[in-house]
Amino acid sequence: MGAVGRWATAFGRFWWDFLVGDTPELFAGVLVVVATALVLRHERVVAVVLVPLECAAFVVASAYRGRRRD
């Protein structure tokens, strides 16, 4: 593997660790929330209700999952 391949591998590992890190469920949650906001960009009333509820649900689920591990 050449220098470009090593650089690309290191770059990909950095972004994976930066975005996913220790909590891949929060990364998936962020993707779901962003996709929901994108889909509902013309339906403001629904988006104003649904997006914060999704955020709260993902944070609570992550905290509950983290509590069970210890």
Predicted confidence (pLDDT) at residue 70 exceeds the cutoff of 80: no
Structure confidence at residue 19 (pLDDT): 86
Give 27's contacts (C-beta < 8 A, 6+ positions apart): 19, 20, 21
Q: What is the secondary structure of 7-50 as a DSSP string? A: HHHHHHHHHHHHHTTT-HHHHHHHHHHHHHHHHTTT-HHHHHHH
Mean pLDDT score, 59-68: 83
Q: 0.85 cut: is pTM over it?
A: no
Provide the pLDDT confidence category of residue 69 given band limits of 50, 70 and 90. low
User: For 2-56, how does the pLDDT look when each residue is reduced to its tens digit (9 = 90+)?
Assistant: 888 899 999 999 989 988 887 788 888 999 999 999 999 999 999 999 999 999 9
